[in-house]
A and B are shown apart, each in its own frame.
Chain A
Amino acid sequence: DQQVKQNSPSLSVQEGRISILNCDYTNSMFDYFLWYKKYPAEGPTFLISISSIKDKNEDGRFTVFLNKSAKHLSLHIVPSQPGDSAVYFCAASEGGSYIPTFGRGTSLIVHP
């Protein structure tokens, strides 16, 4: 049973527009959420995170929104750039746990 779901395997966006990547979770004990970015043949790199005490966190072009009642979070990239083309993984963890649970990833393609 997947506790972290990224239902869109891929997303195509034009350069300069907004990219919205979605993530749903089922475990109400999750209280810390992360987004990782992964280029082919490389390890994932941390992008942005949010704690359950917040509903928004912003870092430059990247904003993560958390809707706890809906158990849903999203990553907004504005404006999208071709270099943003990568696989984005959503991850969630419980307080005190060593182990984040990852979604299956969404492949973002930003067209020039």
Chain B
Amino acid sequence: SQTIHQWPATLVQPVGSPLSLECTVEGTSNPNLYWYRQAAGRGLQLLFYSVGIGQISSEVPQNLSASRPQDRQFILSSKKLLLSDSGFYLCAWNLDRADTQYFGPGTRLTVL
């Protein structure tokens, strides 16, 4: 069966520090991968999605970036965190277009 992992589960970082969040999927090949953010009191905002290795589409311009170095690995990064980057970051995957997305457990990021 397929599983999706995210780490770390929680993270507290100072403003201006770098960020690296990792997501991996097991039990499937060539998934579509997604990064979402849920800010306090807000819905799920799509940040990036990827349909293959090295293919990244950005939905929202910001100081975050994403990379997909391997088929089942998706990384969210920042060189310098802002206070507004605080939120709950979710990774998700699916196989087919418009298929149900399966979400990871999320990372709670607090930028102080």
Contacts and interface: CB of A to CB of B under 8 A. Distances in A.
Interface of A: 6, 9, 32, 34, 36, 41-46, 49, 89, 93-100, 102-105
Nearest to B51: A98
Interface stretch (B38-46, B68-76, B78-86): B38-46
Given A89-B44, A93-B98, A96-B97, A45 B51 contact: no
Nearest to B88: A41
Interface of B: 32, 41-44, 46, 49, 51, 59, 88, 90, 92, 97-98, 100-106, 108
Given A98-B49, A99-B49, A44 B44 contact: yes
B8 to A, nearest CB: 13
Contacts of A89: 43-44
Given A98-B51, A99-B49, A105-B43, A42 B106 contact: yes
B61 to A, nearest CB: 16
Contacts of B90: 43-44
A100 B98 contact: yes
Contact of A98 (B32, B41, B108): B32
A104 B100 contact: no
5 contacts: A46-B100, A93-B98, A97-B97, A99-B49, A102-B43
